[in-house]
Structure 1
Amino acid sequence: MAFLFNTTRNFSLYTIPAAWAIAFAPHAYAETQSKVFDNRSPRTYAQTLEKDQNHRQRGGTPFPNALFISNTLQTKARILRAEAAQTNCFENLALLATTVLAGNLAGLPAATLNTLSGGYLLSRVLYNFVYINNTSKGLASLRSVGFLAGIGQIFALFIKSANVLREKAANLL
Structure 2
Amino acid sequence: MNTLALKGKVWKFGDHVSVYYFFPAIYEMLGIAGKPEELAKHFLEDVDPHLIQQVEHGDVLVAGKGFGQGKHHYDYINAFQKLGFAAFLAESFHPQFQRECIDRGMPAIAYPEIPSKVNSGDLLELDLRTGRGRILNRAVPIRVEPAPQVFLAILAAGGLKPYTLQKLATGSRN
TM range (shorter): under 0.3
Name which structure has the greater RCO, CA cutoff 8 Å, separation 6+: 1
Q: Larger radius of gyration, structure 1 or 2?
A: 1
TM-score by length of 1: 0.26
TM-score by length of 2: 0.26
